[in-house]
Chain A
Amino acid sequence: MLKYFSLYLKKQIVIYMIQFNFKPFNEMRDEDYALIGFKSGLEIHQQLKTQKKLFCRCPAGKYSDKYDAEILRHMRPTLSELGEYDGTALMEFKTKKEIIYRIHHDTVCTYEMDDTPPFELNEEALDIALEIALLYKCNLVDELHISRKQYLDGSIPAGFQRTTIVAVNGFIPYKKREIGIVQVGLEEDACREVSDIYHQRVYLTDRLGMPLTETVTTPDLKSPIEVSEVAEIIRRLARSTGKVRTGLGAARQDVNVSVDGGTRIEIKGVSRIQMIPILTYNEAMRQWNLLRIKEELNKRGITFQNVSYKNDDVTKIVRKTRYQPINLAVQEGKKVYGVLLQGFKGLLRWQTQTDTYFSKEFSDRVRVIACLTTLPNIIHSDSPTENLSTLEWQNIRKFLNATEDDTIVLVWGNEEDVKTAVKEIQIRAKEATIGVPSETRQALIDGTNGFERILPGPERMYPDTDLPPKAITDERVQKIKLQMPLAYWEVENQFKKYKLKDYHIKKLYITKYGNLFKKIVEEYNVDKEFVANILVDQLTALERKDYDISKLSDNDFIKIFTTYKKGEITKKGVVITINNILKKGLSVDEAFPKKIDEYDMNQIMNKEYKLLLAGIIYNKKNIPSLLLGKIMNYYNGRIDGSVIKQKVYDFLKDYGYDSE
């Protein structure tokens, strides 16, 4: 009987393997994505480089893991403006999480704690958001209405994020087409999660309330590569203002993905653009497979209407199991429940993402909603890995009256949590009959994704009654337009004529040095590659070492480059001058290399040569290089190194040294 059973299982799997023709990542072509109806759009969150937070006067951009105090909150769902409950809100309420906020006096005030009403919107942040919106050629909103977007996961102590739409209907050019920008929002950043274990979630609050823009594109991206390329364009455009934050976590993407017959799924918080292709690939694969599972279920006659399951307490049956996780749970007095999914045989080990199986969809729900966070949190009767003994499984099957077409899922924990888990397993099984449930999913390091929460709808929006609407005046918009940069692709075209290296072009137009470059090259006729080397390579290197390159004014650069152009300093002299200004804190005039008359060089060589001879020299052969070093110190940055070298060798020739 048992033998027959496992044979049956193997046969089934073989059938599934044949059906599984989703190609590996590297083999997927644009045509394949077209075939499955891949569709994607982006929501890009970009932190703005303001002094202060969006609705209070706390400093923005100060991070610390230290904290002075903690507060505890629970979140309860509330009605939307149109009188509806949001599905996500209800889900989060089911989880009954205790949320702890860690607070540092320097970065958080009573506003972020939700104990003081908001102060007026940060005008600096609004100007930057409007500038970015104008770069997308959006229509600006005439009057801002601040909304509250509910987040019951606790990532914001108020339970909602203050957010507002500043513009709609823009676009960016991409591959001879236009990708629409649906809207640009201005909103507060959320807390940083520290941990989420069992019924307690812990957050750090330093990032909370920092201003960021949210740019939403139309879902017109047709392949994973397109998604990452457009994300890059949007990121660069924002950076071209020079007014946004950079670095890890300063820009975070939410990626929406769907395939034909699937659902819009939001993958949250992708901070590395390089990860987008693999993440979107895996999500497309997941949806494609969930749809195949649905077909298979329907083929087996299982539909949304007639899907059936039952559950019962099986603690007694597995009381003495040698399977460690359950053994431990039983010893701690916890409950083990079996959920029988009628007709689901074999489906839980269907591959849905790279190295990820359908069973993970169940495990995720149990982890997030029932708070059973220690993994594994479920096992199932089709699992290829060893868990319960065959006899134990048999007893469970008998107890639950399982037929060979059924699958059994076991879950264990505190009774209350297990009951929640059982419900969630059943809900997820029911959802399998209709394909892809609407979810928000979190990006994982390996490029797959996991369940985060039910996808929230517009029901979670509520007008902010604490702040009045704010009209955007024409004067304000004009003022922004006067100082904003050209869209970078327009600048890129302008830069093309200089025929610079690609990365020089990219860097120049996203920094404020683009205009300076043009000025120095056009007006002072300085060698463009050299100018690019200095403004990009040298400055980047210095910035990486934490030197404040903003200390150098445009006038400083012009002075340095014209001095070079006049031949008073060499290329190396330019580098030395800049280093002197930043490293020694000298003014530009003090920073130039020493000015020693070239005609005195013979005299200096004589002096230094004699000093060298007077010293202890073990090998006379070293004298030329030693002397060269001494003389270089005098003239470095003023006279080209090769010229000095020649002069030193000429000088030494008279003393019988070889020129090499």
Chain B
Amino acid sequence: MIQSDKFKGYKGQALSILKSFNADVWSDVEILTDAGIFKGIILPRSETADPNHIVLKLRSGYNVGINISRITDIKIGGKKEAHYKIPEKEFPYDPKKPRVKLFGTGGTIASRLDYRTGAVIPAFSPGELYGSVPELAEICNLETEKLYGVFSENMGPEQWIGVAKAIGNEIEKGVKGIVIGHGTDTMHHTAAILSFMVQNSPVPIVMVGSQRSSDRPSSDAALNLIHSVKTAAESDFAEIMVCMFGPTSDEYGLLHRGTRVRKMHSSYRSTFRTIGDIPLGMVSKEKITPFRKDYKKRRNDKEVKIVTAFEEKVSIVYYYPNMKPDIIDSLIDNGYKGIVIAGTGLGHVNKPLYPALKRARDNNIAVYMTVQTLWGYVQMYVYDTGRDMMELGVIPSANLLPEVAYVKLGWALGQTNDLQKVKEIMLTPIAGEITEREPSNGYLIFQGGIPEVEKFISQYRK
């Protein structure tokens, strides 16, 4: 169906009614119905909503839907179109402050309302950012560049490679730090792949997003942005990091290493956690506090290695009891070159899968084992099952997180088809993705209800 922009989102009967009265979107109208008169502005309608209602913004600012079957007349008084624009101001330049580049890929760090879907869509411009978060100017000279405008679930190899190359270019131009605005859902996938594609960076590369869109007064967007820009401009961490809220309170952000971080809650502000290790440090408006010393330090050179190879025929298989071999078989039949299994416990799957795993080995497919417990190492010697599987060519991948193993395997297979070389790449840590030891405080999940835990959360803001 072809739709005029004049009637954004309306379809079917609602569209006909609006057309018949020549009342397009943003018209200031009086709608006469058998239930009385409604005065207001006709708003666009979500495309997924039904075709039986017209949305009106009343004078009070409230929106209501009016059933078209009640409408007897529409009188048009004028027009008031929305101009949703954050006051744009040119970002001030201060020669004493470091230059930081902010790349936009989309996500809720900057967003506005989309009438087409009724949901929020990303918006991004340096002037807008300065208009809404003027504090940024106190930290650095910010330049921005919109690379993509996609939700994070739509990020893939094409965008990863694009971002990696853009980072390389900026570093060569002598930038002091890089911030990447990204949707939070797959931020840890992108953080991981960038950790492999961008090697030996001399400056901090900080990924950031927000869990509450910036059209909300309580959004975490502004503070996350301040934290990340501060980290990029001032910190000594020359690594790929994710910078997001530590607690749900507006207090500080945590700096997570790009290969050890994971989104752990569907909606909390403090959703990102470092798994199996501790974060690099924390950042507040006032200061940056490192938690450890074994990080790559900031340098003054412009040397960086960009390796953008990626093989797309790689998959993750999340094992569940009673899984049938046809799952693995279908990957083989579809020409997949690499499979990451998220196995149970120390890294196990059931016996019926063995023939399929053998077939994968015989087809020269790289199969790597990770753990769906997320915390802890794969250890395939403890039980017979593990030993059997190694016989079948399944390679244990230490404490690589499943998503990290997935992007790394794609990256490795993109560089070579030689499975021995792939194995070398996979098991040689490049950016902290495999650690030699799990510190005793690397696994800390407080269990609510326990008296001492309750005491703790009553003393420190969540």
Q: Which residues of A contact B (CB under 8 A)?
A: 67-83, 89, 103, 105, 110, 113-117, 139-145, 147-152, 157-160, 163-165, 168-169, 182-183, 185, 457-463, 465, 468-469, 471
Contact = CB atoms under 8 A, between A and B. Distances in A.
Nearest to A105: B448
A145 B65 contact: yes
A467 to B, nearest CB: 9
A185 B62 contact: yes
A72 B448 CA distance: 20
Contacts of B66: 141-143
Nearest to A82: B82
Interface stretch (B143-151, B179-187, B246-254, B287-295): B246-254
A117 B249 CA distance: 17
Contacts of B37: 169
Nearest to B67: A142
A301 to B, nearest CB: 36
A461 B55 contact: no
Contact of A183 (B53, B55, B60, B222): B60
A71 B246 CA distance: 12
Interface in B71-115: 80, 82-86, 112-113
Interface string B388-425: 00000000000000000000000000000000000000
A83 B80 CA distance: 11
Given A72-B461, A73-B249, A110-B268, A147 B80 contact: no
Contacts of B222: 76
B165 to A, nearest CB: 34
Contact of B62 (A83, A151, A164): A164
A445 B58 CA distance: 35
Given A143-B53, A465-B113, A116 B215 contact: no
A82 B55 CA distance: 15
Interface string B35-58: 111100000001011101101011
A458 B59 contact: yes
A164 B61 CA distance: 11
Given A144-B65, A183-B60, A458-B60, A69 B458 contact: yes
B457 interface: yes
A65 B149 CA distance: 46
A145 B62 contact: yes
A465 B120 contact: yes
Given A141-B66, A160-B217, A465-B113, 10 more contacts: A73-B249, A79-B84, A81-B82, A82-B82, A115-B269, A147-B61, A150-B217, A159-B217, A159-B219, A168-B36
B119 A465 contact: yes
B452 to A, nearest CB: 13
Given A70-B462, A72-B461, A139-B35, A81 B65 contact: no
Interface residues of B, number: 62
A81 B113 contact: yes
B70 interface: yes
Given A72-B250, A139-B36, A160 B65 contact: no
B53 A113 contact: no
Contact of B64 (A79, A89, A103, A165): A165
A474 to B, nearest CB: 10
Nearest to A93: B217
A71 B461 contact: yes
B118 interface: yes
**Most chain A C-beta atoms within 10 Å of own C-beta, residue among B55, B213, B216:** B216
A185 to B, nearest CB: 7
B454 interface: yes
Given A69-B458, A70-B462, A158-B218, A110 B64 contact: no
A72 B458 contact: no
Given A145-B62, A150-B217, A463-B118, A79 B268 contact: no
Contacts of B84: 79, 81-83
B49 A469 contact: yes
B214 interface: yes
B428 interface: no
A83 B65 contact: no
Contacts of A70: 249, 458, 461-462
A203 B84 CA distance: 32
A465 B118 contact: yes
A236 to B, nearest CB: 25
A551 B454 CA distance: 39
CB-CB nearest 3 A-B residue pairs: A143-B65, A159-B217, A458-B61
Contacts of B358: none
B216 A78 contact: yes
A591 B221 CA distance: 66
**Most chain A C-beta atoms within 10 Å of own C-beta, residue among B59, B211, B217:** B217
B63 interface: yes
B263 interface: no
B58 A165 contact: yes
Contacts of B63: 145, 147, 461, 463
B363 interface: no
A143 B216 CA distance: 24
B267 A163 contact: no
A74 B249 CA distance: 9
Given A82-B80, A115-B267, A469-B49, A73 B113 contact: no
Given A69-B457, A71-B249, A78-B215, A142 B65 contact: yes
A115 B271 CA distance: 10
A83 B85 contact: yes
B218 A114 contact: yes
Contacts of A117: 267
A480 to B, nearest CB: 16
A165 B38 CA distance: 12
B302 interface: no
Contacts of B58: 165, 168, 183
Given A83-B85, A117-B267, A77 B217 contact: yes
**Most chain A C-beta atoms within 10 Å of own C-beta, residue among B60, B212, B448, B454:** B60
A92 to B, nearest CB: 9
Nearest to B119: A465
A147 to B, nearest CB: 6
Contacts of B118: 463, 465, 468
Nearest to A183: B60
Contact of A114 (B61, B86, B120, B212): B212
Interface string B242-285: 00000111110000000000000101110000000000000000
A152 B217 contact: yes
A461 B62 contact: yes
A459 B64 contact: no
**Most chain B C-beta atoms within 10 Å of own C-beta, residue among A67, A72, A77:** A72
Nearest to A460: B61
B116 to A, nearest CB: 12
27 contacts: A71-B247, A72-B251, A73-B249, A79-B84, A81-B113, A82-B83, A115-B248, A115-B265, A116-B267, A117-B267, A140-B35, A141-B64, A142-B64, A142-B65, A142-B70, A143-B55, A144-B64, A157-B218, A165-B58, A165-B60, A169-B35, A169-B37, A465-B113, A465-B118, A465-B119, A468-B48, A471-B67
Contacts of A68: 454, 457-458
A144 B52 CA distance: 13
A61 to B, nearest CB: 24
A139 B64 CA distance: 12
A143 B64 contact: yes
A463 B114 CA distance: 11
Contacts of A144: 64-65
A147 B67 contact: no
Nearest to A141: B64
A78 B214 contact: yes
Contacts of A158: 212, 216-218
A83 B86 CA distance: 7
Contacts of A142: 53, 64-67, 70
Contacts of A89: 217
B450 to A, nearest CB: 13
Nearest to A159: B217
Contacts of A81: 57, 82, 84, 113
